[in-house]
Amino acid sequence: MKKCIIIANGRPPSKSVINFFKSKGYSTLICADGGANSAFKLGLVPDYIIGDLDSVFPETLKFYYDKSTIIKVKRQNDTDVEKCLKFAIRKKYSEAILLGVTGDRLDHTICNLGIVIKFYQKIKCKIVAENSYLIPTDETIIFKSKVGETISIYAFDRRTNITSDGLKYQLHNSSLPFGEKESTSNVAIRNEVKLVVKGGIIFIIRDFNFIKQNDLV
């Protein structure tokens, strides 16, 4: 199973986050255009820099000229993150961790959240933003937790139904159409949580510190 890390041009991740996922088999580092500036500041050498190259600093590009594979894609129908994902799909990667996809631009943040759904059938994308870890799923999922962990759940289609086991505010074949109802700041009451999902994709947002401390992905 091939897995990669993609750094976008938003709020930079910490080096410890990148090292954590590298230790979990996300061995390829891809920078989406200006994401290379973040890699440069962190002292990392990306395997690939992909985009229209309008955001990466000239000095960054010069430094990586003979160290990374730089792929300029002029096509403007895709964002730079989408260009990276399409490249990853062609190269048969099955999972991607998206970093630097949130920041000062709310439109970029919303776009990148949508990308997780847009590409879901071709590559599974997870997002780490500060202390949040976003996991998409459209099927039953069982994961380790801890009593008191905050777990938020969002869905987008009223045909999507969720049943939970191990949460304080239980869901019983519940629909959570976006903009109408959500399960924000739910709480684990056991050390294992089960979600049965039918009829669509949901986002599960968890505590990334817990993920790291317990060596989970």
Looking at residue 87, its amino acid is: F
**Can you give the pLDDT at residue 119?**
98
61: CATH: 3.40.50.10240
Taking residues 47-73, report their average pLDDT: 97
Query: Token pair of 111, please?
Result: 């776009």
pLDDT tens profile 191-203 = 999 999 999 999 9
Taking residues 135-160, report their average pLDDT: 96
154 and 94 in one domain?
Answer: no
The answer on pLDDT for 169 being more than 90 is yes
Global pTM value: 0.95
Residue pair 167/187 in contact (Cβ under 8 Å)? The answer is: yes
**Can you give the pLDDT at residue 75?**
81
pLDDT band at 148 (very low <50, low <70, confident <90, very high): very high
Strand segments, DSSP code E, in 145-201 are 150-155, 161-165, 174-175, 183-187, 192-198
202: CATH: 2.60.120.320
185 and 167 in one domain?
Answer: yes
**Can you give the pLDDT at residue 51?**
96
The answer on pLDDT for 145 being more than 90 is yes
**Can you give the pLDDT at residue 216?**
87
Show the domain range for 78.
2-130
150 and 123 in one domain?
Answer: no
93 and 44 in one domain?
Answer: yes
151 and 89 in one domain?
Answer: no
**Can you give the pLDDT at residue 127?**
98
117 and 34 in one domain?
Answer: yes
* 174: helix, strand or coil: strand
End position of a domain, from candidates 130, 145, 170: 130
The answer on pLDDT for 60 being more than 90 is yes
Residue pair 177/143 in contact (Cβ under 8 Å)? The answer is: no
Taking residues 172-190, report their average pLDDT: 94
**Can you give the pLDDT at residue 10?**
94
Choose among 120, 123, 132, 193: nearest CA to 160: 120
178 and 88 in one domain?
Answer: no
180 exposure class (CB count in 10 Å sphere: 0-12, 13-18, 19+) = exposed
pLDDT band at 27 (very low <50, low <70, confident <90, very high): very high
End position of a domain, from candidates 130, 150, 169: 130
153 and 121 in one domain?
Answer: no
Residue pair 7/39 in contact (Cβ under 8 Å)? The answer is: yes
pLDDT tens profile 75-104 = 888 999 999 999 999 999 999 999 999 988
**Can you give the pLDDT at residue 74?**
87
Alpha helices (runs of H) in 6-145, residue ranges in sequence order: 15-23, 35-42, 58-64, 80-90, 106-118
100 and 145 in one domain?
Answer: no
The answer on pLDDT for 45 being more than 90 is yes
Q: Among the listed ranges 5-9, 74-78, 119-123, which one has the minimum average pLDDT value?
A: 74-78
Number of domains in the chain: 2
153 and 118 in one domain?
Answer: no
Rounded CA separation 207/61 (Å): 35
145 and 112 in one domain?
Answer: no
End position of a domain, from candidates 75, 101, 130: 130
**Can you give the pLDDT at residue 76?**
81
